[in-house]
Structure 1
Amino acid sequence: MSETKPWLRHYPEEVAPTYEYPKHNLARLLVDSAQRYPDRPALYFMGKTLCYREVLDASYRFANVLKELGVCQGDRVSIMLPNCPSAIIAYFGTLMIGGIVVMTNPLYMERELVHQLSDSGAEVIVTLDLLFDRVQKAKTRTLIRHIIVTSIKDYLPFPKNVLYPIKMKKDGAKLDVAYGEGVYAFKKLLRETSRIPVCVEVDADTDIALLQYTGGTTGISKGVMLTHTNLIANTYQTSNWCYRIEKGGERFLGAIPCFHVFGLTVLLNQAMLQAGMLILIPKFDIDTILDTINKMKPTIFPGAPTMYIAIINHKRVKEVDISSINVCVSGSAPLPLEVQERFEELTGGKLIEGYGLTETSPVTHANPIWGYRKIGSIGIPLPDTSAKVVDVNSGEELPIGEIGELLIKGPQVMKGYWQREHETAMTIREGWLYTGDMGRMDEEGFFSIVDRKKDLIIAGGFNIYPREIEEVLFEHPAILEATVAGVPDEYRGETVKAFVVLKPGMTLTEKELELWCRERLAAFKVPRKVEFRQSLPKTMIGKVLRRQLLEEEKKT
C-alpha cells in the first residue's frame, strides 16, 4: 500500500487511511449535535448567541416555510447572504426538505446573478435587505417566484438591532423593501410557521445537496453537483485530520464566507459536526477580526493567506491576545513560508497549507497538523483520497518528481456539472477527476502545485475567470481587443491585470474603465491594473498569447 501511496507512512497514528462515512441527509450534522448538546452555543453573531436548540428550531421552521411555498425535494433554493445566522438557518432548512442549496455570492452584480439563477432554475432566493434591489432587477430574467428578505439586524442583540438601521441609512444604504407579491420577511415567516421537525430521507450517494458555481476548467460558470455523501465525507475527512478536536468544545472563527465551498465544509459543516461554536463574521475587517479573537477566544481559524497576512502585519497584533488559536487550515492560494512562521510564532498554534477544488467538496490534500510537514507543499492526500500525476498528452502516470496534471479520486469528488454532461465526461474519467492543475509528487508522497493548466486567477481566495472579465471589457465601445491575466501580488497572491488595445481615435482612462467594470462585475473581479497597448501577441490562428504577456510582465 505504501508503495502506491507513499504518503500513508506520514499519517499520524490517530488518523486511519480509511473510514466509513454516514449515508444520510447532510442536515443531520445539525440535528444530531442539537439533540446531544441542545444548550451549547452554536452561533455567535456580533454579540448575540444562539444555542443548538434555537438553531435547530429555526431550521425546522424554515423547512416548513419552504414546504408552504411549494418547494419540493430536488428544487433549488438560492442563498445570497454573508456569514449571518439567517444563512445557516436557510442552509439547513433547505437540506431538511431535500432541497438543493445554491450558494450565491452576495458580491454578484445583476448579470452574474441572472446567469446563476437561470442556470440553476432556482425559484426561491433568500437575500439581504441591502441586496434586495439587485435581486429584484435580476428576477424578471430568472425563474425566481419568491424572495425571502432578511437583515443583519434580525439577529443582533439590543440595542444594536435598533441602532443598525439608523447607522446604515446615515451611510446611504437602501434598506427599504416592498413586501408582498412574492416578497417576504424572513423573521415574520419563521414566527408564523410550524416548528414540526422535518428531515427527509435522501439517497446520499446520488441526491444533490449543493450546487456550487465555479468556472471549472472553462470560463463559463458551471454548477458543481455535490451530493450529501460528497459533503459529509469531506467534513469527516477534514475533521479526522484535526484529530485533537474536542467535541462540543471548539470555537470556529467564521471569517471565510460560507458561500465559498471551503468555508462551507471546514467551517460550517465541521463546526456543526463537532458541536462547536461558530463565530460568524459577515465581512472581513481586520480590526473586527482582532477584537473578536481577543474577546471570543476562537480555537480553529480556517482562512486564506490574505487573512493571515493582514493579521501578522497589523499594528495592533501585539496589543491583542490571539494565543487561543490552535489550528488554522489555509486554502484558496499558496501560503508563503514567512507568513506561516510568523503566524505560528504569534499564536503558538499550527498553520498548515491544504489544497482542494470546488469539484472535490473541496479538500483533497493537507499537511499533517501535528506531524511531519513540508513547507511549500500542499501536503498529502486525506483519508480515502487517491492522487496521481499524469502526462498531459498520453494520460500515463508519471514517475516521482515529474510535472504533470494532478488527478484525484475519493468520496468527495463531485457527481458532475449541472446539466453539462459533456464537460462532466471531460473532467471525470474512470472515476478520476482531472483538476487542470499542474503538479508533482516527491518520493515521500508530498504534492506541490507548480502551475495551472487553466488560466484561473486566484486573488484573495476568490476564483476569477479571465473570460468573464474579458467579455465585459469587449462590451466597452472604445475597446478593440482585451485580455486578462493574473499577475503576482504580495497580498492577494494574484491580482487581475487587463491588457487593452483601443479602437483608432478612441480614448479611455484607467479610472473610466474601472467604473465600467464595477457596474458589471463583483468588486473582486475588477482589474486592479490596466496596461494600454498598441497590440496583443497572438498565435497564427489569432489566439492571444496570455503566457507571453505574463513573461513580459515578469521582466518589467
Structure 2
Amino acid sequence: MTAKPWLRYYPDDIPATLTYPEKPLYDFLDQAAEKHESAPALIFFGQKISYGQLRELVDRFATALVHIGAKPGEKISLMLPNIPQFVIAFYGALKAGLTVVQTNPLYTEDELHVILRDSQAETLITLDRFYEKVLHVQGKTNLKRIIVTGVQEFFPGLLRLGYLLKERPKRIKPAPPNIYLFSDLIRSAPAHPPEIPVRPTDIALFQYTGGTTGIPKGAMLTHKNLVANTLQARSWFPRVQLAQETCLCVLPLFHVYAMTVALNLSMAIAAALILVPRFQIDDLLKTIDRHRPTLFPGAPTLYAAIANHPRVKDFHVSSIRACLSGSAPLPLEVKRRFEELTGAVLVEGYGLSEASPVTHCNPLYGRQISGSIGIPFPDTDAKIVDPTTDRELSVGEIGELVIQGPQVMAGYWNRPEETAHTLRGGWLHTGDLARMDEDGYFYIVDRLKEMIICSGLKVYPREVEEVLYKHPKVLEAAVIGVPDPYRGETVKALIVPKPGTSPTADEIKAFCAEHLAKYKVPTIVEFRESLPKSIVGKVLKKDLR
C-alpha cells in the first residue's frame, strides 16, 4: 500500500504537515486579544463581549481561583451550558494551572457522583439551578469549593430583568471557604493573570468517555494535544479570514467536538462565537437570521432540523459558508438539502474523545465522498488492522481503525491497563470497524463498541442496563440502538420481567429517568419471555436488531 495515499487529495491550500508552537491552549485567546482587542469574541442573546473584555474576565477568574486556594494540577469540574461563564471558567482554569473536567450539567446525581469521585475534582462551577444536586453528592467526593453562577448574569439589561422577574432564581448565599459566587470572584479579583507556568505537556482536560467498557473514564488531553487539533482544524478551513468570521455554537461546549471546532478554533481565528445554551429550532433560525454566522460546526440532527423546517425560507441562512458535521453519520439527503438551502459547504468528519477529537474529514474545497468520513488531518496517520492480531489489512478490507498523531491523548486517568491496551503499539485503537479505499478515504462500517449515538450524544448500553437491573421487576435486560429519523439512533430496552410481575413501558422509562440523563432514557421498551444467548450465556445483541 502506498504510504498515505490520501495526501494527493489534499487541496493546494492545505499543507500535509504543520508547525505546532510550544504554548498553552489559552494563548490563542491572548493572541486574539492582543491583535483584535475590540473585535467581538462572544455573542450571547445579543450581548457582545470583546476579545479585550474576555481576556480581562479570564485573567480575573484565574487569579480568583488561586486566591480561594486552588493549586496547579488540581481538577475543576465545569458543569455549565453554553454561556459566557463556561468560556471564562475554561480558559481561566487553564491559566491557573488546573485541569478542566468536562461535566454535563444534565447528569443525574448518580452520574455526577461517578465523574466527581473518579476525577477527584476539588472545585466545581455550576448554575444556581443545579446547586442542590451538587450539594447532595459533595459529601461523597473530594469537592472543597463550589462556585455558583446564574444564566442571566451576561444577559442584556431588559432580558436579564425579565428573567429575574419570571424565573425568580434561588439566591445562593456565599460561605467561604466552601461556597462562592462567580460574580463576586470576578468583581474582587485583579485584572491580571497569576504567574503560574503552564507547560505544553500539562494535562489541560479530562474528557470522560465510556470507551469499550461503558464505564466512564477520563481521556487526558494535554495543552499540546488541544493546540495541535485546533491548528489542524484551522488548516481545514483555508478560506477563513482573521477577525472576520462568526461561528455558531449550538453543540454543548462540554462535548469535546464543540470545545475544539467551535470554541478553540474561534479563538485561533479571532472569530465571534455565538453561544446557544439550548437547542430550539425556531429560536436557532432567528439567531442565524440576526447574527449571520459564517461557520457552523454541528451534528446531522441540527442540519436536518434546519433543512426540514417548514418556514426555513423565511430566514436569512445564506450567510453560512462552511460546516463540519461530526458525532454521527451524515445522511446524503440532509447534506444535499442543507447545502441547497444555504449555499454552504457541509462535510462529514470523524473523531473521538481520545484524539481531541478530530482525526478525519472530507475536504471543504476538494474531493468529497458521500458515506466517507474523509481523509486524515495533517500529521495524522491512520490504517486498518485486524482487531485480534493488529496486523495491517489491505485496501478495502474491514478491520479496526487505528490512528497516530499529535492530537492523541496522553492516556486514561488512573487506568494504566486500559491506556496500554488502547494505545498499544504506538497507535490509538478506536474500537470502530472501518475500511479504506485505494485513494485513502475512510469509511466507518460498524462499532466494536456497542455505543449508541443519540443526536450526537453518546449512550453506553451497559450503563443503561445497570440501571434497568436495579428495577425490582426486571429479570434480564439488554439495550441496543435502533435507527431514528431525527436523532440518528434512539435507545431501545428489551426486558424479561421477573416471574409474577407485569412492568409497563412507562414504569420502566420513569425509573430510568430518575437515574439517567434524559437522552439516555429508553424511548422504546419491549418485553420478551427470553433473550437470545450464546453458549456461554452472553446476550446476542446482533440477534435483537
Q: Common fold, TM-score beyond 0.5? A: yes
Are positions 1:6 and 2:5 aligned together?
yes
Match of 1:233 among 220, 223, 228: 228
| Separation of aligned partners in 2, 1:123 and 1:113 | 14
Amino acid corresponding to residue 514 of structure 2 in structure 1: E
Are positions 1:209 and 2:204 aligned together?
yes
Structure 2 match to 1:67: 66
Instruction: After superposition, give the CA deviation of every residue in 1:471-526 in whole Å (9 maximum; x if it has no partner).
Output: 11000111111010111111111110000111111121111111111111000100
Instruction: After superposition, give the CA deviation of every residue in 1:60-110 in whole Å (9 maximum; x if it has no partner).
Output: 111011101211111100000000000000000000011100110011010
| Separation of aligned partners in 2, 1:125 and 1:36 | 32
| Separation of aligned partners in 1, 2:384 and 2:480 | 26
| Separation of aligned partners in 2, 1:51 and 1:117 | 33
Following superposition, the deviation at residue 192 of structure 1 comes to: 1.0
Structure 2 match to 1:149: 148
| Separation of aligned partners in 2, 1:161 and 1:153 | 5
Q: Report SS of the residue matched to 1:318.
A: helix
Structure 2 match to 1:491: 486
After TM superposition, the structure 1 stretch with the greater mean CA deviation from structure 2, 456-465 or 178-187, is 178-187
Structure 1 match to 2:91: 92
Amino acid corresponding to residue 197 of structure 1 in structure 2: P
| Separation of aligned partners in 2, 1:342 and 1:105 | 32
Following superposition, the deviation at residue 391 of structure 1 comes to: 1.1
TM-score (norm 1): 0.97
Equivalent pairs: percent with the same residue? Answer: 51
| Separation of aligned partners in 2, 1:488 and 1:219 | 20
Structure 2 match to 1:459: 454
After superposition, the Cα gap between the structure-2 partners of 1:199 and 1:335, relative to the gap in structure 1 and judged at 3 Å, is: farther
Contact 1:6 1:444 in 2 (8 A): yes
Structure 1 match to 2:28: 29
Are positions 1:120 and 2:119 aligned together?
yes
After superposition, the Cα gap between the structure-2 partners of 1:8 and 1:92, relative to the gap in structure 1 and judged at 3 Å, is: same
| Separation of aligned partners in 1, 2:172 and 2:531 | 47
Are positions 1:507 and 2:506 aligned together?
no
Amino acid corresponding to residue 36 of structure 1 in structure 2: K
Contact 1:330 1:353 in 2 (8 A): yes
Following superposition, the deviation at residue 175 of structure 1 comes to: 3.0
Contact 2:95 2:198 in 1 (8 A): no
Structure 1 match to 2:137: 138
Are positions 1:295 and 2:283 aligned together?
no
Structure 2 match to 1:321: 316
Contact 1:165 1:175 in 2 (8 A): no
Are positions 1:547 and 2:527 aligned together?
no
Instruction: After superposition, give the CA deviation of every residue in 1:34-75 in whole Å (9 maximum; x if it has no partner).
Output: 111111100000121100111111111110111012111111
Structure 2 match to 1:277: 272
After TM superposition, the structure 1 stretch with the greater mean CA deviation from structure 2, 539-548 or 285-294, is 539-548
Following superposition, the deviation at residue 430 of structure 1 comes to: 2.4
Structure 1 match to 2:193: 197
After TM superposition, the structure 1 stretch with the greater mean CA deviation from structure 2, 83-92 or 539-548, is 539-548
Contact 2:66 2:194 in 1 (8 A): no
Match of 1:258 among 253, 256, 261: 253
| Separation of aligned partners in 2, 1:388 and 1:457 | 24
Amino acid corresponding to residue 494 of structure 1 in structure 2: E
Amino acid corresponding to residue 21 of structure 1 in structure 2: Y
Following superposition, the deviation at residue 278 of structure 1 comes to: 0.3
After TM superposition, the structure 1 stretch with the greater mean CA deviation from structure 2, 406-415 or 539-548, is 539-548
Amino acid corresponding to residue 205 of structure 2 in structure 1: L
Contact 1:25 1:199 in 2 (8 A): no
Structure 1 match to 2:343: 348
Amino acid corresponding to residue 473 of structure 1 in structure 2: L
Amino acid corresponding to residue 416 of structure 1 in structure 2: G
Contact 2:294 2:322 in 1 (8 A): yes
Following superposition, the deviation at residue 546 of structure 1 comes to: 1.1
Following superposition, the deviation at residue 178 of structure 1 comes to: 4.1
Contact 2:298 2:325 in 1 (8 A): yes
Amino acid corresponding to residue 74 of structure 2 in structure 1: D
Could you list the runs of 5+ residues in structure 2 that have no partner in the other structure?
none
Amino acid corresponding to residue 182 of structure 2 in structure 1: F
Amino acid corresponding to residue 426 of structure 2 in structure 1: G
Following superposition, the deviation at residue 199 of structure 1 comes to: 6.0
How many pairs were matched up? 544
| Separation of aligned partners in 2, 1:200 and 1:21 | 22
Q: Report SS of the residue matched to 2:312.
A: coil
Match of 1:245 among 240, 246, 265: 240
Instruction: After superposition, give the CA deviation of every residue in 1:325-382 in whole Å (9 maximum; x if it has no partner).
Output: 0000000000000000110011111000000000000000000001111111000000
Following superposition, the deviation at residue 197 of structure 1 comes to: 2.5
Following superposition, the deviation at residue 315 of structure 1 comes to: 1.4
Structure 2 match to 1:111: 110
| Separation of aligned partners in 2, 1:389 and 1:493 | 25
Q: Report SS of the residue matched to 2:366.
A: coil
Instruction: After superposition, give the CA deviation of every residue in 1:132-152 in whole Å (9 maximum; x if it has no partner).
Output: 111111111111111101111
Instruction: After superposition, give the CA deviation of every residue in 1:110-137 in whole Å (9 maximum; x if it has no partner).
Output: 0010010111110110000111111111
Amino acid corresponding to residue 469 of structure 1 in structure 2: V
Amino acid corresponding to residue 363 of structure 2 in structure 1: P
Following superposition, the deviation at residue 218 of structure 1 comes to: 1.3
Are positions 1:476 and 2:475 aligned together?
no
Amino acid corresponding to residue 364 of structure 1 in structure 2: T
Q: Report SS of the residue matched to 1:159.
A: helix
Q: What is the root-mean-square deviation of aligned Cα atoms in Å?
A: 1.0
Amino acid corresponding to residue 12 of structure 1 in structure 2: P
Instruction: After superposition, give the CA deviation of every residue in 1:135-187 in whole Å (9 maximum; x if it has no partner).
Output: 11111111111110111110001111111122224xxxx63434325111111
Amino acid corresponding to residue 475 of structure 1 in structure 2: K
Contact 2:495 2:527 in 1 (8 A): yes
After superposition, the Cα gap between the structure-2 partners of 1:199 and 1:338, relative to the gap in structure 1 and judged at 3 Å, is: farther
| Separation of aligned partners in 2, 1:115 and 1:469 | 14
Are positions 1:414 and 2:443 aligned together?
no
Could you list the runs of 5+ residues in structure 1 that have no partner in the other structure?
551-556
Structure 2 match to 1:183: 179
| Separation of aligned partners in 2, 1:395 and 1:385 | 19
Match of 1:365 among 360, 364, 374: 360
| Separation of aligned partners in 2, 1:165 and 1:516 | 33
| Separation of aligned partners in 1, 2:500 and 2:329 | 43
Q: Report SS of the residue matched to 2:397.
A: coil
Amino acid corresponding to residue 187 of structure 2 in structure 1: R
Contact 1:24 1:201 in 2 (8 A): no
Match of 2:378 among 366, 383, 395: 383
Are positions 1:219 and 2:214 aligned together?
yes
Q: Report SS of the residue matched to 1:190.
A: helix
| Separation of aligned partners in 2, 1:432 and 1:59 | 36
Are positions 1:167 and 2:163 aligned together?
no
Amino acid corresponding to residue 450 of structure 2 in structure 1: D
After superposition, the Cα gap between the structure-2 partners of 1:479 and 1:178, relative to the gap in structure 1 and judged at 3 Å, is: farther
Amino acid corresponding to residue 149 of structure 2 in structure 1: T
Structure 2 match to 1:47: 46
Counterparts in 2 of 1:388-467, with a 5 A limit?
A: 388-467=383-462
| Separation of aligned partners in 2, 1:410 and 1:471 | 35
